[in-house]
């Protein structure tokens, strides 16, 4: 598929000044703007529902908590006396560890529920489950197969619902990705991110978020593996609104050209195991290597939400100094903490914002 350039308008982006710690750099767009944002009581099913200011606020809170807890060694029991239900239809290392340890670190009590503990829509309807949990805990994180399950929970619950992953979106991963890039580059505005791989839930979340942060997005997927049409249309609208570029192609090298960040993900998601042989064939030529990076910008870096397979990215890139995958994995903890604190409290970050 030939490249489609939906918006070629460029804007002059201003760089952010450095804050006290690199983990909190560049989130400000004016104290009055971000300081007035309050997300208490909201759910987070997709970042499509969050404005630019709201997403920046989440990153600011996350960076602030990381600075105060990790670097300043402060104890912040912001969620003391609160409990969380963690519903996992799909297994995960990073989502479980980051959420469970993060909630506990903030003084709360997480309760992990597998499909053996809770049968959404089987032994009990989603409606009844949402209403029961609303009386037993303060917030729910659900990692599910179908996004409609989250929508049902959110409709019937009286407490915030967080999408820990669904077939359509993975918002908590994208928050970690952008915090990682913020820390590394100092500013997000004007960066170009290139996605090379499957048109999946992680990509959908990138598409709903990148334009709002002033980030250009170039996407290479094999024919037949493109993002959902509805997501493309919304991403087109957002790119036009925010003056960023959105490019779709089937050529990985075209997508990588002039990029700051190369990103990929698994080619075979959970539930797609029977398609593995066909998918590996269809994705031939999509492995990210140093050759892929040779057409990117000199400062290019690499992201992968993990777990990683060799066919997606070779060892030379994955274990190189350009790879940010392990800081990215750690930031899953700080960003889910930032999200939970934002949805449950009126917390205001303590590290002051710098103006442009």
- Name the 3-class secondary structure at 115: coil
Cβ atoms of residues 139 and 106 within 8 Å: no
Cβ atoms of residues 42 and 171 within 8 Å: no
Cβ atoms of residues 53 and 29 within 8 Å: yes
Q: Which helix (H) or strand (E) holds 329?
A: helix 325-344
Cβ atoms of residues 162 and 141 within 8 Å: yes
Q: Kindly name the residue from 15, 44, 137, 305 that is annotated as catalytic.
A: 305
305 a catalytic residue:
yes
Q: Packing angle between helix 52-65 and helix 171-185, nearest 10 degrees?
A: 70
* Integer Cα distance of 2 and 256 in angstroms: 15
* Burial group, residue 315, by CB count within 10 angstroms (0-12, 13-18, 19+): exposed
Provide the annotated active-site residues: 305
């Amino acid at each position: 598929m030939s490249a489609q350039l939906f918006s070629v308008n460029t804007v002059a982006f201003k760089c952010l000044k450095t804050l006290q710690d690199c983990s909190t750099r560049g989130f400000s767009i004016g104290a009055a703007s971000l300081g007035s944002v309050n997300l208490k009581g909201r759910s987070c099913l997709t970042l499509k529902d969050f404005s630019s200011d709201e997403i920046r606020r989440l990153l600011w809170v996350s960076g602030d908590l990381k600075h105060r807890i990790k670097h300043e060694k402060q104890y912040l029991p912001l969620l003391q006396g609160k409990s969380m239900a963690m519903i996992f239809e799909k297994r995960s290392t990073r989502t479980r560890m980051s959420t469970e340890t993060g909630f506990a670190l903030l003084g709360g009590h997480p309760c992990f529920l597998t499909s053996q503990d809770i049968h959404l829509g089987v032994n009990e309807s989603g409606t009844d489950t949402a209403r029961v949990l609303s009386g037993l805990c303060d917030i729910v994180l659900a990692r599910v197969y179908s996004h409609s399950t989250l929508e049902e929970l959110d409709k019937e619950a009286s407490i915030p619902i967080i999408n820990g992953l669904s077939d359509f979106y993975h918002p908590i991963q994208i928050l970690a990705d952008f915090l990682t890039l913020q820390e590394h580059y100092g500013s997000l505005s004007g960066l170009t991110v290139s996605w090379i791989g499957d048109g999946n839930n992680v990509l959908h979340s990138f598409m709903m978020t990148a334009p709002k942060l002033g980030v250009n997005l170039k996407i290479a997927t094999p024919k037949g593996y493109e993002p959902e049409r509805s997501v493309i249309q919304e991403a087109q609208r957002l790119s036009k609104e925010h003056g960023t570029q959105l490019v779709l192609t089937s050529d990985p090298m075209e997508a990588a050209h002039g990029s700051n960040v190369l990103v990929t993900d698994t080619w075979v998601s959970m539930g797609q195991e029977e398609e593995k042989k066909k998918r590996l064939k269809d994705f031939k030529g999509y492995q990210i290597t140093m050759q892929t990076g040779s057409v990117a910008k000199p400062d290019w870096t690499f992201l992968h939400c993990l777990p990683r397979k060799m066919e997606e990215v070779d060892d030379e890139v994955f274990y190189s100094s350009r790879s940010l995958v392990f800081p990215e994995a750690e930031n899953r903890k700080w960003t889910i903490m930032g999200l939970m604190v934002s949805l449950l409290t009126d917390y205001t970050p303590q590290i002051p914002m710098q103006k442009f």
